Structures are given as structure tokens and as C-alpha cells.
Chain A
Amino acid sequence: MTESATAPRYAPGTHPDLPPPRRTTGVAGWMYKNLFSSPLNIALTVIGAFVLYSIVPPMLEWAFLKSIWTAESRVECWDKMEVPEEAACWAFIKGRLNIFIYGFYPEAERWRVNVSFVLLIFAVLPVLYDRLPQRKRWFWYVAAFPFLAGWLLVGGFGLTPVDTDQFGGFMLTLIIGVTGISFSLPIGIALALGRTSDLPALRILCVLFIEFIRGVPLIALLFVASTMLNYFLPPGTTFDLLMRVLIMVTLFSAAYIAEVVRGGLQGIPKGQVEAADSLGLPYWKAQRLIVLPQALKISIPGIVNTFIGLYKDTTLVLIIGMLDPLGIGNASLADAVWAGLAREVYLFIAVFFFLCCFGMSRYSLYLERKLHTGHEEI
């Protein structure tokens, strides 16, 4: 009775909202709902926490807390630890960062790689971000970029020539990845249009090409590029190996892009094409204004998926003797000063690839959201 005596009285309908019941809000509520809502969930949470506990702290300790950042050799690194080999020896990666990035590119000329990289950022910007002022004018620069970068990297016309077999490391990955990605998209779209075309000769040609490329593993194509072509070409002619690899990688991913885009084209209702026809639009205008914008939009996840695959496949050039980051890593492990630090090398390369691929994947999500015009539920 005392409670009701002290509690304030309200006129009907004016009682303020009561707080939500305990256990449904805040940290406790979230934990109850997501972690401990049933005996099964409690068990899973406990197991999960135990697994995290047994993996994460030792990982952090290995990679950061106990790791050694400056040393001249593996032995010195291990001497600095309480127990040899108990933690990461990042001094290895730090000392070799230059050849991981530039490969065997001559030291005096490395500024050219840096300039190309900055130019690359400016070339990618207008493609990725459509609210850039003066975007149309930027595209002249984008079109000129491959030639500009090619000139900077290979040299000639006033710059010291650098053989492409001196290229290596992350620079090589970026060259193969960016070239493959930017050239395979237009080729892939053209192939997809060719495959869905009404002209039989063109259609058969495109089908043959796509099916041939899809039927052969990339590694086989790379072997053809590196070994067989030498036998087909007249003796004495050397055709740059990097060029051969770039062509093969581009064709390979173009065939996959073509199939992804064809999927997109088939997802466009026939009525759209018929509407374009009834407006009197010629073929190319109909494709450019009506079909492709819609088809490409729904193909985005597939296209980006292909790109990520291509980007990671660049490591296969290791097998034909080109030193991409993985190749540089293997070669570095042969240096007796550092040999035995394989974990550091592979983790470092994995982080690089993860950052690149995760970035691509997030950008594609952003693009999907931006282009979403409300035709389907999310």
C-alpha cells in the first residue's frame, strides 16, 4: 500500500511510457537476443568464445606484441626473442620491401613506377566516382593513361629503356591485374553482344572463342604463352613475355566476362528491346541507351567476381618464372640470411591481396546500391 501512496498519479492517458523490459535493450539485451537465447546458442557462444580466445591472443602476440622489426638477419631476429621463432620477424619484409614492390626494376628509375601509380589513381578516379567535376574531359586522360604508363614503365623516347623481365613484385601484379581488368570488360561486352547477335557467322565465331577459352585452364594458356609461342614464331624473334601474358590473361577473363554479361542480357525482358525497336532506335543506340545499362547493372556482382578471380590468378605467372610477390617471396626465402621465415612472407602477401580484393568487393556493393532503382526488394 505504501507504494501506491508515494507513486505519482496520472490522469488517464497521460502516463509516460514505461522503459522497455529489462533484457531487451542495451548490451545485456543484445547479448541475450544474439548470444544466449537458447541452450544451443549458449553452447555455440561458449565454444566460439573459446576458439577466439585460443586463436586471437597468440596471433596478436606473434604478429605484433613480440615481433621484431629491426634486424640484419634471421639469426639476429631470433636472438632478440626470448624463445627463437616464437614471434614474427618483420625485419625481413621491411628490408625487402623494395623488391616486393618493384621487383628488379633499376633503383635509379623507380620514380617512374611511383609516377605511374599516382597517374593510375587519377585514371581510376573518374571511372569509379561519377560526381567528379568535368568528368567527361577526364576520360580523354583515362584513354591516354595506358600509353602514358606503358611509356613510363618500359622507357624509350627519352627515358632509359627497362626490360619487362625486370618487372616484379606488387608492381607486376598491378600491371597484369589493371590491364586485364580494363581491357577484358569492353572485349567481354563485345563478345556477349556477338554471342546474342542475329548474325550467324559472328555468333558462331564468338561462341567458338568463348567456349575454347573457358574449356582451357589459365595455367595452360600461360604455358602456351611462355613456351609454345616460341616454337610457332620464326626463330630469333622474341616477343615480349609480359606482353604475351597480358594478352592471354585479358582474353581469358574476357571470355568469362562475356558469359556474365550474357546472363545480364538475358535478364532484360524482351519488351525492352521491342520498345526500343518501336521507337525506331537503331541497334547500337538501342543497346547503348536501353539494354546495356540495365544488363550491366544486374551483372555487376558477376563482373566484379570475375575481376577478383583474375586479380588473384595473376599469381599463376610464378609458374612460368615471372616473379610476382609470391615469386619474390620464394626467391627471398632462398637467401640463407633469411631462409625459414615462410610464415611472414605468406601472411604479408595474403594481407596485400585481401586488401585489394576486399576493396573491389566493397566498391561493387556501393555501385549496386547507387544504381538501385527500386525494381526489386532488397
Chain B
Amino acid sequence: MKTTTSATAGAIALALGLAGSAQAGTLEDVQARGVLNCVVSTGVAGFAYPDDAGKWHGFDVDFCRATAAAVLGDPEAIKAVTSTGKTRFTKLNAGEGDVLWRNTTITFSRDVGVKLRFHGVNYYDGQGFMVPKSLGISSAKELDGASVCIQTGTTTELNLADYFHSNGMKYEAVTIETNNEARQNYLAGRCDVYTTDASGLASTRSTFTDPENHVVLPEIISKEPLGPATRHGDDQWSDIVTWVLNATVTAEEKGVTSANVDDMMANSKDPEVLRLLGVEGNQGSELGLSADWAYNIIKSVGNYGEIFERNIGVNTPIGLARGLNALWTDGGLQYSPPFR
């Protein structure tokens, strides 16, 4: 038994060693290829979707563009590697994608078990409930006995069961497969409540003919921090992805936008802004990138707030408020370590 175990361990170590050595230079690979391969979803409203011409847009896709701008200097040098929830990690681990920006919840088992490296949270999500206004309900605590539309095989199903059980309430599950199916069922009145991540609820509600007659209840019953991931075994590449995200947040904090970045670069007195934009210090070359890597991000894609407002903010059809995703200075959770 013991020999088998050690033999297996040896084989795994060997395999990992091989994998590690072959994938050590993601940055060099990407720069040689001239295109960044991003694992994205096959379509989530506001986060990743193709337009009429087949060009990809969305919150996650814009972060992919930001990464390409930092690494290659060209935000359009990306390729969308579409993946479903089932194939996303394999595509990343097999090297078909360089980085994963695909509304993926950070969990222990994914970080440790699937051997991924997560690099911070670009969107704080959580499971919520949507009900028609006509029901006159204002809190999820009043949902006892309701029929609930829920996607099968997701963590939302487990969260729902836990929440109702711990509050001593009963519910009748109406299981559905996709968001579109949920929309039809909910509108046809086959369920009283639709539950999924709050961002999903908002985007579904935006497709109704009468969005004003439906409310998202205030209770958020789970933590769904969504963030980018890379493979184990390439620390330099991991650092790059981490600091691409941090650069967008720091830029918003310091008021650097795509519109004023040139002006800031010339006239700012703030040493952190100057370091961020590569005027002072040599942070770019320490990452293995050009000095203007963060300038390229902000100039072409914008800071965190701009990316948010352009894709999912209150003025888009999705219409999400910043909420938890506001800067820490505005009462939210978005917080970047300093550029020092």
C-alpha cells in the first residue's frame, strides 16, 4: 500500500514537474504569440457576450483586454477561448487559455483542489431573490411556502436549501436548466420567486417588458467573490494578473481615468500615480513588462469604475449599483494594495 502511494506521489510529482517546466514562461509564450488567450464564458449578460459582428464584450472581457494592453500593449490582441462551467479549468490547466476571466467564484476546493491561483476579486456577487411586486413581499424571511425557480446542479441550490432550513421555512423547488428557461417560467407564474446570483437577477430583470414591477429582495444569502485565475507554477505571470486588477482599482482610487491619464502623467504630483504610470520607479520592468503597462490599461480600457459602469453599471441595461464593489473609501470592498 505504502509503495503504491509513494509511487503515485512520485508519478504526480513527475507529471507536475513536467507541466511546470513546459509552462514556466507564459509571459514569453504570450509575447511570442502576440495574442492573449482568455478563458471566458459562452455568454453571461454584461460579463461576456458577442455583439452582432462577433466581437466579444463585457466586464470580464474588458479585464482580458486590460491584461492584453499590459502585456502586449494592444487591448484588441485577445482571443476568447469560450468554455462552459464544466470545461473552464481544464482549458486553463491544459494551456489552451493563459488566464481565466470568467465570472468564477473563488472557493477553497478550486484554489487548492483544482490547483489554480486566484488573484483578487473583480466582482463581489451573492445569491439573491427576485419576486413580483404584486406579492407585496419585502424580505426573504416572508417566503415561507413559496415556489422557487432554481438552476439545478449549482451552489445556489445548496445555499437555498440551507437558508430555508436555518430559518425554519419550507419551499417548493421548480428546477430549471438555464437562465432563459427561468425567465419564461418566472414570467408565466410557474414560480413565485427566482433565485440566482444578484448580478444574474438584475440582468434577467432588465429583459422584462415591465422591470419596474419586480423587486430584488435585500437579503443576500451567499458569498460569491468572482475573480481571475491562472495555473500553478508560473509566479511571474500570476503577479502580472494580480497587478493588472490592482492597477485598475488604484487608478480609480487616484482619479486616473482614460480621459485624463495623459494629463495625470504630465502634471500629477502624487508619487503613487507617477509610479503607477511608469514615470518614476521601475515597476514595469520588475514585472517583465514595459514601463507604460498600466498607462496602456487605463488609456485603452479605463479604470475599475469605468469598466464597471460601461458594462454593468446603472446606466446599462443590466443596471447594477456599485454596492459591495464600490471602492473601500466609498463603503465598498474594492481595495488595492499600494503601488510602492
Residues of A that sit less than 8 Å from B by CB = 74, 78, 84-85, 95-96, 98-99, 102-104, 107, 163, 165, 223, 226-227, 230-231, 234-236, 238, 241, 318-323, 327-328, 330-337, 339-340, 342
Contact = CB atoms under 8 A, between A and B. Distances in A.
B87 A320 contact: yes
Contacts, number: 120
Contacts of A333: 43, 45, 180
B42 A85 contact: no
Contacts of B178: 330
Given A78-B209, A95-B52, A235-B95, A336 B84 contact: no
Interface string B80-104: 1111101110110111100000000
Given A334-B48, A334-B49, A84 B42 contact: no
A333 B316 CA distance: 16
Nearest to B57: A335
A351 B80 CA distance: 29
Contact of B19 (A235, A319, A330, A336): A235
Given A226-B90, A331-B49, A321 B83 contact: yes
B73 interface: no
B90 to A, nearest CB: 4
A37 to B, nearest CB: 40
Given A226-B87, A321-B82, A331-B49, A98 B54 contact: yes
A337 B183 CA distance: 16
B317 A336 contact: yes
Nearest to A330: B43
B3 to A, nearest CB: 23
B276 interface: no
A85 B84 contact: no
B206 interface: yes
A320 B84 CA distance: 6
Contact of B317 (A84, A98, A223, A337): A337
B42 A227 contact: no
Contacts of B83: 321
Interface in B44-85: 44-54, 57-58, 79-84
24 contacts: A98-B52, A99-B52, A103-B54, A226-B87, A226-B90, A227-B87, A230-B96, A231-B94, A235-B18, A319-B84, A321-B81, A321-B83, A323-B82, A327-B82, A330-B178, A330-B180, A331-B49, A332-B50, A334-B45, A334-B49, A334-B58, A335-B50, A336-B49, A336-B318
A78 B58 CA distance: 24
A238 B184 CA distance: 41
Q: How large is the interface on B (under 10, 10 to 19, 20 to 34, 35 or more residues)?
A: 35 or more
A334 B183 contact: no
B23 interface: yes
B52 A334 contact: no
Nearest first, the 6 A-B pairs at minimum CB distance are A340-B207, A334-B43, A331-B43, A230-B94, A334-B49, A336-B317
Contacts of A331: 42-43, 49-50, 82
A340 B90 contact: no
B22 interface: yes
B95 A238 contact: yes
A67 to B, nearest CB: 16
Contacts of A337: 51, 317
A330 B203 CA distance: 14
A161 to B, nearest CB: 12
B171 interface: no
B103 to A, nearest CB: 11
A106 B42 CA distance: 19
B53 to A, nearest CB: 7
Interface in B190-213: 203, 206-209
Given A226-B87, A321-B91, A339-B206, A165 B81 contact: yes
A323 B44 CA distance: 14
Contacts of B52: 95-96, 98-99
A226 to B, nearest CB: 6
A99 B209 contact: no
Contacts of B23: 235-236
Nearest to A342: B180
B42 A342 contact: no
A104 B83 CA distance: 15
B90 A227 contact: yes
A328 B86 CA distance: 18
A340 B178 CA distance: 12
Nearest to B37: A165
